[in-house]
Amino acid sequence: MPDNMTYMTIPIGRTGGVFIEVDPTKAVTSLPKMPRKVLVLGQRLPGAQVPALTPDRQQNGESTAQAHGRGSVSHVMMMAIDKVKAMYGDIDTWVVSMDDLAAGVAAAGTMTFTGSVTRAGTLQVYVGGVLVRCAATVGDTAATLASKITAAINLNTDLPVAAVAAGAVVTVTCTNKGEVGNGMELSYRYYDEDTLPLGIRLTCLPLSGGTGNPDVAAALASIADEQFYTIIMPFTDSANLTAVEADMDGRWGGMSMKTGHVFTAINGSMSTLTTWGAARNSPHCTTWGLRGSPTWSPARLAAFAATCEASGARHPAMPLRSLEVPGVKAPRPKDRFSRSERELLLIDGISSTIVDSGSKVILECVITNYQKNTMGFDDESLLRLETKWTVDYYRYAHRQNIALKFPRCILVDDDTNISPDLPHVKASMLQAECYALDKRLEYVGIIENPAKNKDKYRFLRSEADKDRVNAILPPNITNQFVTFAGAVQYQL
């Protein structure tokens, strides 16, 4: 029966009594905390505990080793994330591992020894940036050292490789098949003081020849109903990138609103990176390009993505710069990009980092792959990742606010004389509510100066659907302070 006031659980009846319900619709007054789960798309080893294509929440690298295979791509990426968590705090991380492509080929590289040891010492090599050591005794031949270092490599089961010695040659093969192993560095010198035992020479060739990545479409299908805010994908082939870009486009839209952002990484020369970047154009992908980092690409990718996520989770508008990417070995000085080179990389959609005086890798500018609009003109609307994350938080805050405060309301025109104690809503009420929220979002640095745009708010009852209110929200999203320019005009 209609009345001037209604309740969710108390009907009108004749028996009488004292009935008081609890109404939570006005309880939440704080700004929302946005859920931001991280997803690692990796590869598992045969016989791993967790089946392929199964979303699996993981706490750390060790638990991932047990669940997805020690030395697998997924395990190595989670170990890299552990270092970020140790510096920046916890991150809610999930893993979806794929099986190797049956027709795939694992990448392999070689270390070839010559000579014999003339002074006792220690032989050390770097496998994907990880130091491996063995003793070198006077008289050890090239074949002996090859056997020793092979045993040392295989003893470190966290490494994503297996080594086999044949005479003086050590063949190092990636544990997982596919392109992911290509480019993994094998070397014996990173720091200036790194040397070989006297009498020994060593020639290292990086891993190469890996072919056949898993198909990420099946992994994306396994999370179709879930939202993961940061997605870390070590595969950079066109087929997988096209699939993930299309999936993220759908999630970004106004009906799904399950925003995700994909991080990738590539190694290569300046021309390789700019050519690759110019061929992509998605606002939902970020690519970190380096030349010559000893750290294996999936590991440095995971550290980079997790560092960005840790900052964005605290405040989406905070500049993604001047933050250390822990656990990543910097490129050697000869391989580092100059400022002018980094400018060109950024023009082609490749994010940049710098190296500080302590050889730490530092975020410089994190952008998306988005460069041009559908008409082919330059477009910076979603170039900066901070912009995308900030406007998405703005959307989420308004969604939650409306859903919590107006869950079951009668919709009437603005000039309707309706009891103020009935749960109802008018377009003008929604406009006032959204403007009030914008003032709060201004205070916490999500938007700026909403009063300046107050006349641009539009809230109208739909002509096509009388149960609907159409609205335009015109926020001026905050920006990032990254440049200061000045001129010193001095006098004598």
Give the burial string for 151-161 (b: 16+ CB within 10 Å, else e): ebbbeeeebbb
Helix H segments across 156-288?
A: 216-222, 238-252, 270-278
Which of 6-15, 84-93, 253-262 shows the lowest per-residue confidence on average (mean pLDDT)? 6-15
Predicted local distance difference test score (pLDDT) of residue 351: 98
155-172: per-residue pLDDT in tens?
A: 999 999 999 999 999 999
Predicted local distance difference test score (pLDDT) of residue 7: 86
82 contacts: CB under 8 Å, gap ≥ 6: 60, 61
Rounded mean pLDDT, 469-484:
97
Residue 1 confidence class, pLDDT cut points 50, 70, 90: low
Q: Residue written as tokens 């994909």? A: 262
Strand locations in 275-324 (E): 285-290
User: Is the Cβ–Cβ distance between 367 and 351 less than 8 Å?
Assistant: yes
Report CA 98 to chain centroid distance, whole Å: 18
Residue 3 has pLDDT above 90, yes or no: no
Residue 244 has pLDDT above 90, yes or no: yes
How far is Cα 327 from Cα 307, in angstroms, rounded to an integer?
Answer: 11
How far is Cα 170 from Cα 264, in angstroms, rounded to an integer?
Answer: 30
375-399: per-residue pLDDT in tens?
A: 999 999 999 999 999 999 999 999 9
102 contacts: CB under 8 Å, gap ≥ 6: none
How far is Cα 408 from Cα 402, in angstroms, rounded to an integer?
Answer: 11
403-458: per-residue pLDDT in tens?
A: 999 999 999 999 999 999 999 999 999 999 999 999 999 999 999 999 999 999 99
175-193: per-residue pLDDT in tens?
A: 999 999 999 999 999 999 9
How far is Cα 292 from Cα 190, in angstroms, rounded to an integer?
Answer: 11
Percentage above 70 pLDDT, the chain: 100
297-322: per-residue pLDDT in tens?
A: 999 999 999 999 999 999 999 999 99
User: Is the Cβ–Cβ distance between 270 and 344 less than 8 Å?
Assistant: yes
Q: Residue written as tokens 């009498």? A: 199
Closest to 52 (Cα-Cα) out of 216, 243, 228: 216
Angle, to 10 degrees, between the axis of helix 73-88 and the axis of helix 297-314?
Answer: 40
